Chains A and B, each alone.
Chain A
């Protein structure tokens, strides 16, 4: 797989393409893009069969290791790739360490190994055991192992530990990658750690940038500990850190950020030159029975940013979640029916909410790409920010 980018500026919005994928030569992904967040190999609540009702376009599935650890042994005996195994052979896969929807518990770190939380509790991975999994999963894209357990309040000591662990993982994983025949066509994404300390970030970059052959892109890691709180991070706090990193990264490589950022911050990050996000925000919303209703186009018929379908006011509201939306949920089901399903805890409730949220989010990214192309991202940012602020006021 190769990444082609149209821009050469260090820290600005840009368009790119992921293509020349070995097993899927006809597929190409336009960036800025969103990977579909999965747990246990499925988009939460939506099976791959149901997803076909949402979109038939090629997608990258984000596969957090936490939900797949249970298959570690089976995959050693399985002949296909992880995308075959999870039942979505036409999708691309991106193996990641932590799940952006689940809080990464702090303070469980250890020298040269990192913890993930599986359904059976805490499990440690070191560079070797992690690369064993990567080799048996054969993902199209993967993150190198990282110790990204830092956030805005991390101590110097924790940050320095995160640095030394991750530099060491970087070297060992990359060496293994270069030797591996199986991974010859896998696209490597290297994490950039260092918390909110500029010096630490610079130090880390210095130690890896000398050797970035075979690295296809970079993950801006260590900004948060995942989970729902990412939605409410202040952009002003992350902006200088991200800017500083982007200014030092080679411009021709893919730039990835993980987490359930709210739409306003997604646009802010796109403006700075981030290429790849994930759809964990859709899941976070669905878990609180909320549906995205913000206007993407000025013509969208809505005066809300997000609605909570558990609210009793939807009891007899026979309108769709979002009038004019073409998703399966909006064309066939009413707010009243979804409210009923949610209030009696039926499985179909979150399915219908999630279908709409993923559809809306994919549409949002399509609009972002259009805006970058026509140089009108600013207008979209103003519109979404205004809707978001009004929503905060009415809350």
Chain B
């Protein structure tokens, strides 16, 4: 039995957007989906049962962090992360490679793997190899696991280095698939690399689609490149990746990026932004972000968003929240809940509009709410017109 069954439900007749469902060992996931990030086996002060009640079907956890603490031994004793954290729905883990390269300045990448100085007391040199990454991810037991990839920053112009990373990523993919111990319950997704070089992205994607896997990820974006470059690479990748498997765009989570990348044919997204920004008192709405710490909210007795069904909007005013955010940890939970619900509602609205074949109308309305004076950024206009939506209508 396959650990991932993908069903296409509806396609937009104008753009590349689609609605689909994948069934994983821990339940179904309706796509396009946004996956909030629960780095260390917990999501910013939310209880797993609260998240289940909100209808959250999948969240992400970070292999690098969990491999360090509590570590493979404890996770295995616990019977995997699902049991350890009492989360009954689906999980996805990253490979740990990106975390290392971005968190640790001392990381060095060789053909064998990523060498870095451990954060533990011994400060020992440690090597994360594709085999080791899969070993940790097998212990965590997420429904979807990621291959270890050779990540190069999109701002690095060294094409020879990037070409090397593309081929190495494919070699590492094969090593990951080779040592995967739980192919019946966990799917490994390859990651398309190649930064902003279209020819390299094409090589990477075409190499990966020859492998027998259940879905694909587009990696190495959302790392400081211009939006004009960003959307073109996403567009190119989704043109190559097969239609009958999920496409996961890594590290994307701003509302407008989600809408556009759905139009470009992506199905899965993740980003720390919605939950991280909650801690600083920032609440998300369709017309932009509210920084609740601002003086102007002190006597504003409206909820964050009158149309939002979340507990926070039902029970609390902006005035109250503005006095407690960043002061008490429980205030952070309140904003986190709103932001998680915001992301889920956005994805649901996208799915509904595609099913009714009204996605282009949805996109136009969404962009108008965000840019009421119609001063759309160039990349928004260009990317949407590439999939036949004109904002100037």
One of A43, A49, A53, A336 near B311 (C-beta < 8 A):
A49
Interface status of A281 (Cβ within 8 A of chain B): no
Query: Is the C-beta of B74 less than 8 angstroms from some C-beta in chain A?
Result: yes
Determine if B273 is an interface residue (Cβ-Cβ < 8 Å): no
Q: In the complex, A74→B253 CA distance in Å?
A: 34
Among A142-150, A223-231, A252-260, A342-350, the stretch in contact with B: A342-350
- Determine whether the beta carbon of A336 is less than 8 Å from that of B74: yes
B74 touches A316 (CB 8 A): yes
Q: Which listed segment binds B: A34-42, A161-169, A210-218, A376-384?
A: A34-42
The answer to whether A50 and B50 touch across the interface, beta carbons within 8 angstroms, is yes
Q: Does B316 contact A (CB under 8 A)?
A: yes
Task: Give 22 CB contacts A-B under 8 Å.
Answer: A44-B328, A47-B333, A48-B315, A49-B315, A49-B337, A53-B49, A74-B299, A74-B319, A77-B301, A85-B317, A316-B73, A316-B77, A318-B77, A332-B49, A334-B78, A336-B74, A336-B78, A337-B86, A341-B41, A343-B69, A346-B45, A347-B45
The reply to whether the CB of A103 lies closer than 8 angstroms to some CB of chain B is no
Given the interface contacts A40-B328, A40-B331, A340-B41, does A70 sit within 8 Å of B74 by beta carbon?
no
Shortest CB–CB separation between residue B64 and chain A, in angstroms?
12
Question: Does B69 lie within 8 Å of A328, measured CB to CB?
Answer: no
Shortest CB distance B140–A (Å): 13
Question: Which residues from B are CB-within-8-Å of A43?
Answer: 330
Are B323 and A70 interface neighbours, CB within 8 A? yes
Q: Which of A3-48 contact B (CB under 8 A)?
A: 39-48
A328 touches B298 (CB 8 A): no
Q: Which residues of A contact B324 (CB under 8 A)?
A: 40-42
Q: Which residues of B contact A67 (CB under 8 A)?
A: 328
Q: How many residues of A contact B (CB 8 A)?
A: 44
User: Could you tell me the distance between the alpha carbons of A344 and B333 in the complex, rounded to whole angstroms?
Assistant: 18
Interchain CB contact under 8 A, A47 and B334: yes
Q: Confirm or deny: A112 has a beta carbon within 8 angstroms of a beta carbon on chain B.
A: no
Contact check, A87 vs B332: say whether CB atoms are below 8 A apart. Answer: no
- Is B288 part of the binding interface, using a Cβ–Cβ cutoff of 8 Å? no
Q: Which residues B303-337 have CB closer than 8 A to chain A?
A: 311, 315-317, 319-320, 323-324, 327-334, 337
The digit string for A310-332, where 1 denotes a CB below 8 A from any CB of B, is 00000110100000000010001
Q: Mark B40-81, 1 if CB is under 8 A from A, else 0.
A: 111011111110000000000000010001100110011000
Residues of A within 8 A of B42 (CB): 341, 346-348
Beta-carbon contact of B329 and A347 below 8 Å: yes
Can you list, as one digit per residue, whether each of B131-171 has a CB less than 8 Å from chain A (1) or not (0)? 00000000000000000000000000000000000000000
Q: With contacts A328-B47, A332-B86 known, what are 16 further pairs, Cβ within 8 A?
A: A40-B323, A41-B324, A43-B330, A47-B333, A48-B315, A50-B47, A50-B333, A78-B319, A85-B317, A87-B320, A334-B78, A337-B41, A340-B74, A341-B40, A347-B44, A348-B45
Contact A340:B69 (CB < 8 A) given known A45-B330, A74-B298, A332-B49: yes
Quick one: given A77-B299, A86-B320, A347-B329, are A340 and B47 in contact (CB under 8 Å)? no
What separation, in Å, do the CA atoms of A42 and B311 have in the docked complex?
Answer: 14
A351 at the interface (CB under 8 A from B): yes
In the docked arrangement, what's the CA distance between A315 and B71, Å?
A: 10
Contact status A348-B47, CB under 8 Å: yes
Does A344 lie within 8 Å of B69, measured CB to CB?
A: yes
Report which residue of B44, B50, B301, B324 has the largest number of chain A beta carbons within 10 angstroms of its beta carbon. Answer: B324
Kindly state the separation between the CA atoms of A42 and B334 in the bound complex, as whole angstroms. Answer: 11
CB distance from A345 to the nearest CB of B (A): 9
**Is B323's CB under 8 angstroms from A337's CB?**
no
Q: Does A234 contact B (CB under 8 A)?
A: no
Q: Complex: how many Å from CA A332 to CA B77? A: 17
A122 to B142, CA, bound (A): 50
Measured in the bound complex, the distance between the Cα atoms of B74 and A119 in whole Å is 40
A333 within 8 A of B: yes
A347 touches B332 (CB 8 A): yes
Question: Given the complex, which residues of A lie within 8 Å of B320, measured CB to CB?
Answer: 41, 71, 74, 85-87
- Any chain B CB within 8 A of the CB of A73? yes
B254 at the interface (CB under 8 A from A): no
Bound: A71/B298 CA distance, A: 8
Q: Closest approach, in angstroms, between the C-beta of A261 and any C-beta of chain B?
A: 24
Taken together as a complex, chains A and B put the C-alpha atoms of A337 and B324 apart, in Å, by 28
A78 to B328, CA, bound (A): 22
B85 part of interface (Cβ distance < 8 Å): yes
